Amino acid sequence: MRHYIIAGAGLLAAAGLGMGAFAVAQNPALSVEQRLQRVEDELAINRVLVNYSATQDARDFAGYAALFAKEGEWVNGKNVHKGREAIHKMLIDLYGEPPADFVNNDSYHITSNAQIDLNGDRATAHSRHLLIWRGADGSPVPALAGRYEDEFIRENGEWKILRRVDYPVMPTPEEWMKVVRERMAAR
């Protein structure tokens, strides 16, 4: 069964619109405890999706890598980084070592449209992402949009990314790599 995370649902309820029309269909075969577990699992996975963007933006590379399972993979085309150490190194190679007092005022990531499918201690998630950069005049500029296809696993009682496949949509992967190379050369 696919469940959709609805951002702003609390605002709708506060506005008196209620949640009836937006509620996920209940499976009468599940107990209250089982349904509660599903809700908790979805919220935990959604938190991982949010923390993925937050740790990347804060250049908290250790925190970012810790979102992955021990044998977790980050995949983009032919680029595959397996294990937390390799994922951590990927970020250092991409951004360089951040200074201790790093504050990111130049970009941020948005993850949206999460669709989470649960299956016991495993799950899949499909979501979209958008990278916003500071433009030359200080205005926000969309830089990269794409989608994530994720596999999750409950590892030591916590949801972790087992495999994240990043599919850049705009610009194309080839166009994006040109941008990345230019930015790295300018460092």
pLDDT digits (tens, 9 = 90+) for 135-184: 889 999 999 999 999 999 999 999 999 999 999 999 887 887 788 788 77
CATH number at residue 143: 3.10.450.50
How many angstroms separate the CA atoms of 109 and 142, rounded?
10
Return mean pLDDT, the chain. 86
Residue 172 domain-assigned (yes or no): yes
Residue 15 domain-assigned (yes or no): no
Confidence of residue 25 (pLDDT cuts 50, 70, 90): low
Q: What is the pLDDT of residue 174?
A: 81
Residue 23 domain-assigned (yes or no): no
* Count of domains observed in the chain: 1
Q: What is the pLDDT of residue 6?
A: 41
How many angstroms separate the CA atoms of 113 and 109, rounded?
14
Residue with tokens 């509620």: 23
- The first and second tokens of residue 136, run together, are 């030359």
How many angstroms separate the CA atoms of 118 and 124, rounded?
7
Residue 93 domain-assigned (yes or no): yes
Strands (E), 16-175: 68-76, 79-82, 107-119, 122-134, 140-155, 158-170
Q: How far, CA to CA in Å, does 141 sit from each of 2, 11, 135, 153? A: 33, 28, 6, 35
- The first and second tokens of residue 54, run together, are 């937050």
Residue 182 domain-assigned (yes or no): yes
Residue with tokens 């908790």: 40
Residue 13 domain-assigned (yes or no): no
Can you state the percent helix, strand and coil of the chain, rounding each to 5?
35, 40, 30
Q: For the full predicted model, state whether its pTM sits above 0.75.
A: yes
How many angstroms separate the CA atoms of 163 and 56, rounded?
17
pLDDT for 68 beyond 50? yes
List, for residues 103-139, the tens digit of each pLDDT value: 988 899 999 999 999 999 999 999 999 999 998 899 9
Q: What is the pLDDT of residue 17?
A: 39
Residue 19 domain-assigned (yes or no): no
Q: How far is CA 27 from the centre of its chain?
A: 28
Q: Which domain holds residue 124?
A: 60-187
Confidence of residue 13 (pLDDT cuts 50, 70, 90): very low
Q: Quick one: average pLDDT of 8-16?
A: 39
**Strand, coil or helix: what is 168?**
strand
Q: What is the pLDDT of residue 187?
A: 63
Residue 55 domain-assigned (yes or no): no
